[in-house]
Chains A and B, each alone.
Chain A
């Protein structure tokens, strides 16, 4: 292990050590003051974030080519750490109110973040597999964290079983790729594939890996678990899961497919096209009939997985790939902020025992709590993709990249499904402003701050999006 190895994974190492120490420190924190653990965990994330930012511009590989550090991984890691911070901010008051406050919540969240960061830096399929497990296992436990609620337990076991199944696909795919190329390192796979190794085995292996990640990012037809898990899990966990698992899953997909399987693009592009189109259509159409806000947002999250998948379709085209990756990353940023904001509003209205989660419960919010209703309106507009929000800018870049790649049909499907989605998102807005009701909210300073912060980011960044797009464009994938 050299100094270079160490520098490659410096932020990740800091966070791992911090999480291990926090596990012990937490034992000495009295039961009714677990908020201290939350603050310490957030501090760890902030320290790691600052070290990640210091890494901007560095590019190298480490640990015998097992991991890489490049613009892409730095950008994605920063986004993951921000999600972790937002996840803790949402959980801070919520877990106390719901009687779930235990120190392990925050340490498990930190370990999951470690797994996600490792995923973004993985340059070997074995590391991808271990990172996938490291990010998933804490999420399984967190989904079942509310042990008194049968729904939460169902969510945990469902997520665990289907997640383990999905991991099986990734491992099987990895084995086939190894069989076809004789190596698990992404660089080695490219080298072997360009020498013209038998590509049927390689194609099947890559397809199986795609299936495994399809589960993780909730793409149709691998989305079955999503509504039940998102509904059953504690809402603060759902918010973190929806954002974090998506970022890490898409980061790994982008890195694995763009660097290791460019030769398979002709075979896989059609599959990705169909996957993206079906996910957008099914997610948006089924969301229409949902009355529970958590289920509606779950289907909305499926639909957004479809939009992000659009960025993958032109990945075989060397000229388009950079802008399409940048568009995908930009969309992820916009999704993360909008997502956390919307779940924050859901948390503010949620009562114990799953009350206050129907869309009807939002009636009268616009009159009684104008600020909260305004924030929710911003998030709904952003999810549809209307101005003045980040969602619009994200979709604009995405559609532009796809059309530049020559897939106008997919862009049209994207626009049409966005119009369909306006129906159910605007229904929430209409319910808040046009219907009478006496909603009650649980206000906590941390929650208010998070909702306000994400709403402001969603609006303000959309007015000056160029710098963020420039950052995303500089986040290039590197091969070593």
Chain B
């Protein structure tokens, strides 16, 4: 338990500081890289909570695919460094106000509600171990077989559509 706690504290520190680094960095590429680091620490949180599948999904989908897209767009548009001038003057006070509301809500939940709510029961073993991957695979290929298969058609159509819209016509 103590090992978990120490691990959690270190990770929490890393995730909060990477989040701050993402927000405060003036260079958008650095921001994006900080975000990747943040996603990875969140993935480790999931691992600590005993959800390996969600952790892997977090790494491949968020830290992997989505961030590549982000970086691609940043570099394509050539907006690596943000201008110093503040384009949205009302943005900072608004963000500060909303953050304060969120902080109050979190403190309220921690101090007041946490005592009244019963301890969250640990999910059962089938979900808690590597078994959940196997279970998920079984469900995907039995109950959800049809949506799974139709999704493949959907991806094919999206691919065909993208090619139709971008391919140059040969004269």
In the complex, whether A66 has a CB less than 8 A from a CB of chain B is: yes
Q: Is B143 a contact of A64 with CB atoms below 8 Å?
A: yes
Closest to B142 in A: A64
Closest to A133 in B: B154
- A 93-127 binary contact with B (CB < 8 Å = 1; else 0): 00000000010100110010010001000001011
Q: Which of A9, A64, A134 has a CB less than 8 Å from the CB of B157? A: A134
A147 touches B165 (CB 8 A): yes
**B156 partner residues in chain A, CB cutoff 8 A:** 20
Expressed in whole angstroms, the Cα–Cα distance for A137 and B164 within the complex equals 12
- Give chain B's interface secondary structure class: helix
Q: Hey, which chain B residues are within 8 Å of A144, CB to CB?
A: 165
Q: Which residues of B contact A133 (CB under 8 A)?
A: 154
If the complex has contacts A63-B145, A66-B146, A66-B147, are A130 and B154 also in contact, measured as CB distance less than 8 A? Answer: yes
Report B124 CB to chain A, min CB distance, Å: 16
In the complex the two chains form, is A131's CB within 8 Å of B165's CB? no
A147 cross-chain contacts in B, Cβ below 8 A = 165
Given A16-B153, A108-B164, the answer on whether A137 and B144 have CB atoms closer than 8 Å is no
**A141 to B164, Cβ gap below 8 A?**
yes
Question: A308 interface residue, CB < 8 Å from B?
Answer: no
Q: Does B160 contact A (CB under 8 A)?
A: yes
Chain B 105-123, CB within 8 Å of chain A: the 1/0 string? 0000000000000000000
In the bound complex, do residue B144 and residue A126 qualify as a contact, i.e. CB atoms below 8 Å apart?
Answer: yes
- Determine the residue in chain B with the shortest Cβ distance to A144: B165
- Bound together, the chains give a CA A138 to CA B161 distance in angstroms of 7
**Chain A positions within 8 Å of B142 at CB level:** 64
The chain B residue with its CB closest to the CB of A112 is B157
For residue B27, CB closer than 8 A to chain A, the reply is no
**Chain B stretch 128-150: residues in CB contact (< 8 A) with chain A:** 142-147, 150
| Interface residue? A23 (CB, 8 A) | yes
Is B158's beta carbon under 8 Å from chain A? yes
**What's the tally of chain B residues with a CB closer than 8 Å to chain A?**
17
Q: How far is the CA of A102 from the CA of B160 in the complex (A)?
A: 12
CB of A66, distance to nearest CB on chain B (Å): 5
Of the candidates B144, B146, B150, B157, the one whose C-beta lies within 8 Å of that of A138 is B157
* Closest A residue to B143 using CB positions: A64
B53 to chain A, nearest CB (A): 18
B154 touches A23 (CB 8 A): no
Contact A111 B153 (CB under 8 A): yes
Q: A118 — which chain B residues lie within 8 A by C-beta?
A: 150
Chain A residues, CB < 8 A from B145: 1, 63-64
Contact present for A102 and B144 (CB under 8 Å): no
Q: Is B60 an interface residue (CB 8 A)?
A: no
B151 within 8 A of A: yes
Q: Please tell me if the beta carbons of B150 and A134 are within 8 angstroms of each other in the complex.
A: yes
Once bound together, how far apart are the Cα atoms of A172 and B158, in whole Å?
22
* Closest Cβ–Cβ distance, residue B154 to chain A (whole Å): 5
Contact of B151 among A20, A130, A145 (CB under 8 A): A130
A67 at the interface (CB under 8 A from B): yes
In the complex, what residues of B have CB within 8 A of residue A141's CB?
Answer: 160-161, 164-165
Partner of A137, one of B143, B146, B150, B158: B158
Report A-chain residues with C-beta under 8 Å of the C-beta of B160. 23, 104, 107-108, 111, 141
> A312 in the interface, Cβ–Cβ < 8 Å?
no
Q: How far is the CB of A18 from chain B (nearest CB, A)?
A: 12
A116 to chain B, nearest CB (A): 13
Which chain B residues border A67 with CB–CB below 8 Å? 146
Tell me whether A127 and B161 are in contact in the complex, defined as CB-CB below 8 angstroms, given that A1-B145, A20-B156, A63-B145 are known contacts.
Answer: no
| Cα distance, A217 to B142, chains bound together (Å) | 33
Instruction: Report which of A64, A66, A114, A140 forms a contact with B161, defined as CB distance below 8 A.
Output: A140
Q: How many Å from the CB of A177 to the closest CB on chain B?
A: 16
**Chain A residues numbered 59-105 whose CB sits less than 8 Å from any CB in chain B:** 63-64, 66-67, 102, 104
Chain A residue contacts of B153, Cβ below 8 A: 16, 20, 111, 114, 134
CB interface residues, A 126-155, toward B, < 8 Å: 126-127, 130-131, 133-134, 137-138, 140-141, 144-145, 147
How far is A442 from B156 in the complex, measured between Cα atoms in Å?
Answer: 36
B-chain residues with CB within 8 Å of residue A104 when the two chains form the complex? 160, 164
Q: List 28 A-B contacts (CB under 8 A).
A: A16-B153, A20-B156, A23-B160, A63-B145, A63-B146, A64-B143, A64-B146, A66-B143, A66-B146, A66-B147, A102-B164, A104-B160, A104-B164, A108-B157, A111-B157, A111-B160, A114-B153, A127-B146, A127-B147, A130-B147, A133-B154, A134-B153, A134-B157, A138-B161, A141-B165, A144-B165, A145-B164, A156-B165
Additional A-B contacts beyond A20-B153, A156-B165 (9; CB < 8 A): A20-B156, A64-B143, A64-B145, A104-B164, A114-B153, A127-B150, A130-B151, A133-B154, A141-B161
**Shortest 8 CB-CB contacts between residues of A and residues of B:** A141-B161, A63-B146, A64-B143, A66-B146, A104-B164, A111-B157, A126-B147, A134-B154
